[in-house]
Structure 1
Amino acid sequence: MDAMSLSPRLALVASFVPAQARLADIGSDHAYLPAHLLLTGKISFAVAGEVAAGPLENVQHEIERTHLSETLIGRLGDGFAAIEPADKIDTVTIAGMGGRLIVDILTAGHTAGQQYQRLILQP
């Protein structure tokens, strides 16, 4: 699996992302999902959020490998804290982690004033 050849699970998640979305992928791991959506022209901008330095290194490697540094930002942050208001995110994906962790991320919430048109959750 890589940014051009998603797993069936990630391909299904990708199918729910609206065209020209500004996406935040929380717990992005290798950033395959946002990189794929950018490379195929489905979205215009993405943040790949990670809570730990190791996975963020994977994100950075994928950004460099796919030459997406202008449209894909890797950012260290716990859940919604990886999103900044200036990102103008309208769609958030949280996929490939346990349901309890997703609930914890949603419960912790987001920065005041931020609202998202679509949440795509795949435990």
Structure 2
Amino acid sequence: MSEACFCDYEPAAFYCKTDYTARKEHRCAECGRVIAPGQRYEKVVAKWDGSLSYFKTCSRCVALREHLAAHVSCFCWAHGNLLDDIRQEVMHLPAEACGSGLLFEIGRMAVAIRRAPYSWEAR
């Protein structure tokens, strides 16, 4: 982040992020889709305001978050609210981002997330 970047949230007392390969089905905290056995996902354990929080994020949502963070100098997001935070960020992108292909790539990744199985029974 640059010095001019300001994110309006409290940092976690601790934050532990680990990548796993699923051995059973899980649900993505961001898009709500199924993380099927054999798929990679990110698990975060963090502590805010004295309580522990756990988040499992599918590889598609992680890729979307990392792609936008790599191309936007100050991208603030919160666990469980990633897709809304990305929509808000995209609405405020400068005009030169439209010609760079960034919006197309973000849209392509978002469509892939929407097309993934949603319910536990959808597989």
What TM-score do the two structures reach when normalised by structure 2? 0.24
Structure label with greater radius of gyration:
2
What TM-score do the two structures reach when normalised by structure 1? 0.24
